[in-house]
Structure 1
Amino acid sequence: SHGDYGEGGFREFKRLIKDPVGTSNMSICISDESRLSRDASVQEIENLLQTMVVRPKSVRVYVLFLTKEDARKLLQAVKKQIHLYDEQRRPVLIASDAWGKESSVVINGETDDIAAGTLTIELISKEPSQFDHYFNSLKPTNPIITNLSNSALSRNPWFNEFWEHRFGCSLKLNETCYEQKLNETNWDSKLQFIVDAVHVFAHALHRYLNCSNQTSTPCKITDINGTKLFDIILNGKFD
């Protein structure tokens, strides 16, 4: 996929192949590499697959660093092009963690037969404790009657917009929009890493602003040294 995820992931994959760790007999050859354009269409991916079919029969394994959206389009494209493959040359797919265990990639089962046999990678994670309760207790804020400095809106200025999109209503035009209730239970598998990242940054920022014992120069939230804060993030530990 276009962007840091797809391109960065593949660069690291190539680096590991070139300089393998802990093995002396690994023999992997990259026959070719292709990058999808931003918001690639199914037709574009079909055209790319057609160029791959004419390659030597020994080339069957495709390593994918794709977003969920691009992975979904790839399966659609392969399904349309399946007549080009015999059983011995059917592509073997190895997909990165963006696909992982996301069932939405197979589009309600429409491409189950194409995805069958695919090896996907999923990072070990668990749902943060009490997150269901925290998230589902959030409510939109009426800026007219609420002190914004103490409101949820001051922490997340986009929450009201999310609320309107989630329930298809207008907080300005419909008072009943405030009465809706969240009941979310299906979380992204990467949720733990988002929560961990927030904790890491918060702990680092706390340590940075409490630097009076380390330097004579006050550490101010309005004048942050990015390099110093980054070093604290890299070296910080917390439970």
Structure 2
Amino acid sequence: NYGQSGIQAFRELAEKANVCIAKEDSVLSNAEDEMFDNVIRKLNEDKNARVVVCFCEGMTIRGLLKATLRLNLTGRFLFLGSDGWADRSDVTDGYEMQAMGSISIRIHSPNVTDFDDYYFSLNPYNNTRNPWFREFWQYRFNCTMRQDGTNSSVTRNSSVASSLDRECTGREKLSDKYKADPKLSFIIKAIYSMAYGLHNMQQEVCGSNSVGLCPDLFPFNGSLFK
């Protein structure tokens, strides 16, 4: 359902601006090649329409680019891509000619250097408050964590650990091959909004000088969560 509200808004604005929408179609990002080929064939039926507005995830637009190559239609379309494409190079790698002249939109999200500094400072030994961090570390670096920093037996209580032989040192660098999520600043703002909302609700329900939970929060009035 990615982009459904954007599609509806585009339809309304296009109608107001007397912009003709020749064809509409949809395809899953993990669809078979034939499904992408069918979409491109359908779009190609109207020879006067060149611009394809695609509210697509990255791999969906990549599938369409592949289909234009398979059907020998390179240069036929100009794609206008949403933030699901943005500036991701993995979308166009190997299909630069099929994407030539296209435009994609990237949400403005400044780099959060404070988060990077905090994230890079973490390791399995200084971030013990997070019960999932050791398992994340094993996935991230394709290694197995021991119970502690000594020569104790290897941890086998997670599905990832049992299939890995290389031992994690705990000195691996999270900065290696790191690329921040382009929506990171919005995630941080959303978490802060949730935290402030919970705090304000707790203060209103339990009293301005209260700390922690109080009986009146169970159940709580959702309208106060703001």
TM-score range relative to shorter protein:
0.7 to 0.9
Aligned-residue offset at 1:11: 2.2
Structure-1-length-normalised TM-score = 0.73
Please state which structure has a larger fraction of its residues in helix: 1
Aligned counterpart, 2:4: 7
Q: Does 2:184 match 1:191?
A: yes
Distance in 1 separating the partners of 2:220 and 2:144: 38
Q: Counterpart of 1:181 in 2: which secondary structure?
A: coil
Aligned counterpart, 2:161: none
Aligned counterpart, 1:226: 222
Distance in 2 separating the partners of 1:27 and 1:165: 51
After TM superposition, the structure 1 = structure 2 runs for residues 53-92 of structure 1, keeping only pairs within 5 Å, are: 53-55=44-46, 57-81=47-71, 83-84=72-73, 90-92=76-78
Aligned-residue offset at 1:99: 0.8
Q: Counterpart of 1:93 in 2: which secondary structure?
A: strand
Provide structure 1 residue ranges, at least 5 long, that are not aligned to the other structure: 21-25, 233-239
Contact 2:120/2:174 (CA < 8 Å) preserved in 1?
A: yes
Distance in 2 separating the partners of 1:195 and 1:96: 22
Aligned-residue offset at 1:218: 5.9
Q: Does 2:95 match 1:111?
A: yes
Q: Does 2:137 match 1:140?
A: no
Aligned counterpart, 2:87: 101
Provide structure 2 residue ranges, at least 5 long, that are not aligned to the other structure: 147-153, 155-165, 209-213
Runs of 4+ in 1 over 4 A off after TM superposition: none
Aligned-residue offset at 1:163: 1.2
Aligned counterpart, 2:27: 36
1:203 partner letter = Y
Q: Counterpart of 1:179 in 2: which secondary structure?
A: coil
Contact 1:209/1:219 (CA < 8 Å) preserved in 2?
A: no
**RMSD across aligned positions (CA):** 2.6
Q: Deviations over 1:13-58 (max 9, x none)?
A: 223334x5xxxxx221222211113621333101221122222x21
Structure-2-length-normalised TM-score = 0.77
